[in-house]
Amino acid sequence: MLPDISGIIIIAGNYGSGKSETAVNLAAVSRKSGKSVKITDLDLVNPYFRTREAQKPLEDLGVEVVLPDRKYMHADLPILTPAVADMIKNPAEVTILDAGGNDVGVRVIAALADGLKKSHVKLLMVINSLRPDTGDVQGCLRIKAEIEAAAKLPVTGLVSNANLLDETTPQIIYDGYNLVTRVSEATNLPIDFLTASTRLVPQLDPERICCPILPIDRLLAPCWVRT
């Protein structure tokens, strides 16, 4: 079952959680399902893996990609253009904000908080159980608290994104999902979906997973692994 999410969706998480890859694939899957989709890159922290790198394949699908003016494309500055404010005032069926990593990366969200509070907003925390800061429940809870304090918005749902890139196995995905299940129980938050590469989705046992699955095609691979 694919994720069926609408409204304004903020994708956040700690460094290396895979939130940008999650954001662009959620945009692609939502558009393929027939929904209108907008996405903006607010990741001002990581200069290598950004939603903006997937601009062409997303636009080819009909996704509206909102970016700073060309002269600011590679700037690591908190640039909130009128276009970003407009997409919040006039959202698509699915409007995705790709925030930066950890609390530092989501501070830009606080600048939009007043406008966001007037809308139906989901703040999803992406958890990769194989990252040092989110390898256990306590670490996940600490990152969650830091994100909420910086964004001035509550996390509304969780996403399991356990992976080791090409070394990922079904067991890694199950283990990550089990951790996020424990975080869900500790926070009373839903697991909105988990992610798995398209090659692994057919290998997963649906009886071991009680949430939608977002198939991941690597759209933000670094240049040294692109084919």
**Domains of the chain by range and CATH?**
7-216 (3.40.50.300)
Identify the pLDDT of residue 226. Answer: 43
Give ∠ CA 60-53-113 in degrees, rounded to 5. 100
Identify the pLDDT of residue 69. Answer: 58
Average pLDDT, the chain: 86
Average pLDDT on 13-39 reads 94
CA distances from 101 to 4, 85, 166, 215 (A): 24, 21, 22, 22
Give ∠ CA 15-6-199 in degrees, rounded to 5. 55
135: helix, strand or coil: coil
Identify the pLDDT of residue 221. Answer: 55
Structure tokens at 28: 């692609």
Decide if pLDDT at 120 tops 50: yes
Q: How confident is the model at residue 7 (pLDDT cuts 50, 70, 90)?
A: very high
65-79, 142-156, 192-206: lowest mean pLDDT where? 65-79
Which of 27, 12, 212 is CA-nearest to residue 123? Answer: 12
Residue 125 contacts residue 161 (beta carbons within 8 Å): no
200: helix, strand or coil: coil
Structure tokens at 191: 């697991």
E-only strand ranges, the chain = 7-13, 37-42, 64-66, 94-101, 121-127, 157-160, 191-197, 213-216
Identify the pLDDT of residue 224. Answer: 40
Beta bridge partners of 13: 101, 126
Structure tokens at 35: 């929904």
Q: How confident is the model at residue 79 (pLDDT cuts 50, 70, 90)?
A: low
Q: How confident is the model at residue 136 (pLDDT cuts 50, 70, 90)?
A: very high
Identify the pLDDT of residue 97. Answer: 93
Q: How confident is the model at residue 74 (pLDDT cuts 50, 70, 90)?
A: low
Average pLDDT on 22-46 reads 89
The DSSP 8-state label assigned to residue 167 in this structure reads T
